Structure formats: structure tokens, C-alpha cells
């Protein structure tokens, strides 16, 4: 029997993308044993899929995760499964908790792996059916390919535009605080005003963002070729209430 520590070490190597042989060399465990550990691990087996098996999905969680995926996520294939990675800034632990929760709601029982990098962390979910749920995956950067939602995704987003906006703005967006002074009754007064900005190089993803903003009736403007701004005071307050701060 191997110690749990050795097993965890071998599986961690696989999740980092190492081959079975490399994990065997690094841990001194037989390749066949590591393969058994890998195949027996929950979260990597075929399981059930909302798309393939026509099962209900947590639509609110899905809409939010779609936003995070389109903002700071990518999907790639490993030998036997696909993995979804969402990169989160370590400065926003509340967002990390949010994404971990969303991944768990999309794939109940699936383990979420964390890969720490400098200043950020990749949250990773392994599952064969990720490409069913996120058909926008493909080679290359997202802004170099068309990103269009399938009709079933459009239906979910049009029912839950708020969670999609949370995913988009909490990954590729920021809440900027500006201030100005004005003289009122002979006294200089400071006024703070904030704005939300969503910055993305993909025309298609910006269009999705503005579509969702239109659905919830929040006015926006395009402030540069890659930036969508929500800056009217009432609009900022509405978006604050809808998506919450970046914590």
C-alpha cells in the first residue's frame, strides 16, 4: 500500500499535465498503479452530462461560469478528459470562493484543483463533458475566433443576464473610482464617483456583455475599441446591486 501522500503527489503531477510515465518516474510508483488511481478518481470519469443526458443544469451558476470562462478561462484536452481553467487574481479571495462554488454546482461531486501561480491561481475542473457545456472552446485565443452562443445558451443567459455579467465584470472588468472637487456655497467639496469597465479584445464577447446589459436595462457606452463603460451614476448603482463588488 502506498501512502496517501504518494498517491496525491502522483495525481497532482497528472493534473499539472505530466504524463503517466513522468509521474511514475517522479514518484517511483508503477505506471499501471498510477493509471488505476487516475481512472478511479471521481471527477474524471464520464459521469452524467446535462447536454448528452438531457439533465437539468443549475442555470444561474452556468450563466455566471460562462461569464468567467469567456473572461479569464480556457478549456483544453488532457489524455482522457477536458479541463476548464479559470484564472483568478489572489487579490480577490471572494471571487475565488465564488468560482469554486460555481464549478461545484456545475459538476456536483467534481473536485476543483488549484494551481498557484505568481499573483494568481488557476481553478481547474476536469470532466469529459466540458466541451458539451462550453462549445465555444477552440484553438487559439478567444478574440481570434468567433464566439457565438448556441440557442440553449442564449435561453439561459436571457433568463439570467445578471450572473453572466457578474462573471464577465468580475474577470475582465474593474470598478474604477474617480473623484472631483466642486465649489458649493464657497466651500470646496469632494465628490466620488465610480464606474465599471469591461475590457476584452473579442468583439463577440463585448457584444455579449452589451446584450446582457441591455437585457437588464443598464445603459453603457463603448469608451475605447476594447472597453465597455458603465458610468452614469444610476447605472453604476444598478450594476453594483446586480453583481456585487470585486472582493
Binding interface with Zn ion (CB under 5 A): 49, 51-52, 129, 132
Rounded to a whole number of angstroms, the minimum distance from the CB of residue 154 to Zn ion is: 19
Q: Which is nearer to Zn ion, 108 or 217 (CB)?
A: 108
Evaluate whether 197 touches 165 at the Cβ level (below 8 Å).
no
Whether the CB-CB separation of 244 and 166 falls below 8 Å is answered with yes
The 3-state secondary structure of the chain reads CCCHHHHHHHHHHHHCCCCHHHHHHHHCCCHHHHHHHHHHCCCCCCCCCCCCCCCCCCHHHHHHHHHHHHHHEEEEECCCCEEEEEEEECCCHHHHHHHHHHHHHHCCCCCEEEEEECCEEEEEEEECCHHHHCCCCCCCCHHHCCCCCCHHHHHHHHHCHHHHHHHHHHHHEEEEEEEEEEEECCEEEEEEEEEEEEECCCHHHHHHHHHHHHHCCCCCEEEECCEEEECCHHHHHHHHHHHCCCC
Which of 57/216 has CB closer to Zn ion? 57
Closest contact distance (angstroms) between CB of 53 and Zn ion is: 7
Sign of CA dihedral 47, 106, 91, 169: positive
| In the complex, least distance from residue 57 CB atom to Zn ion, rounded to whole angstroms | 11
Question: Which of 51, 226 has the CB closer to Zn ion?
Answer: 51
Q: How near is the Cβ of 51 to Zn ion at its closest, in Å?
A: 5
Nearer to Zn ion, 129 or 142 (CB): 129
59-72 helix and 151-159 helix, angle to the nearest 10 degrees? 110
Q: Which residue, 120 or 132, has its beta carbon nearer to Zn ion?
A: 132
The least CB distance from residue 91 to Zn ion, in Å, is 35
Q: Which three cell numbers stand for residue 167?
A: 462573471
Tell me whether residue 22 or residue 132 sits nearer to Zn ion (CB atom).
132
Nearer to Zn ion, 51 or 246 (CB): 51
In the complex, least distance from residue 193 CB atom to Zn ion, rounded to whole angstroms = 46
Q: How far is the CB of 127 from Zn ion (least distance, A)?
A: 9
Amino acid at each position: 500500500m502506498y501512502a496517501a501522500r504518494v498517491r496525491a503527489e502522483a495525481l497532482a503531477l497528472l493534473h499539472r499535465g505530466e504524463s503517466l510515465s513522468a509521474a511514475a518516474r517522479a514518484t517511483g510508483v508503477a505506471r499501471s498503479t498510477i493509471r488505476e488511481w487516475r481512472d478511479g478518481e471521481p471527477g474524471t470519469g464520464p459521469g452524467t452530462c446535462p447536454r448528452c443526458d438531457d439533465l437539468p443544469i443549475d442555470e444561474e451558476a452556468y450563466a455566471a461560469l460562462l461569464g468567467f470562462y469567456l473572461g479569464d478561462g480556457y478549456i483544453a484536452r488532457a489524455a482522457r478528459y477536458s479541463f476548464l481553467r479559470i484564472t483568478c487574481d489572489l487579490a480577490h479571495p471572494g471571487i475565488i470562493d465564488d468560482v469554486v462554488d460555481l464549478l461545484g454546482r456545475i459538476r456536483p461531486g467534481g473536485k476543483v484543483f488549484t494551481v498557484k501561480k505568481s499573483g494568481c491561481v488557476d481553478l481547474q475542473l476536469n470532466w469529459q463533458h466540458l466541451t458539451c457545456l462550453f462549445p465555444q472552446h477552440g484553438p487559439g485565443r478567444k478574440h481570434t475566433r468567433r464566439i457565438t452562443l448556441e440557442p440553449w445558451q442564449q435561453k439561459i443567459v436571457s433568463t439570467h443576464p445578471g450572473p453572466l455579467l457578474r462573471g464577465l465584470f468580475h474577470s475582465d472588468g474593474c470598478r474604477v473610482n474617480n473623484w472631483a472637487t466642486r465649489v458649493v456655497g464657497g466651500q470646496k467639496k469632494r465628490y466620488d464617483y465610480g464606474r465599471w469597465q469591461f475590457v476584452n479584445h473579442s468583439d463577440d464577447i463585448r457584444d455579449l456583455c452589451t446584450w446582457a446589459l441591455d437585457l437588464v436595462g443598464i445603459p453603457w457606452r463603448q469608451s475605447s475599441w476594447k472597453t465597455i463603460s458603465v458610468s452614469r451614476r444610476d447605472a453604476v448603482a444598478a450594476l453594483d446591486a446586480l453583481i456585487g463588488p470585486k472582493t
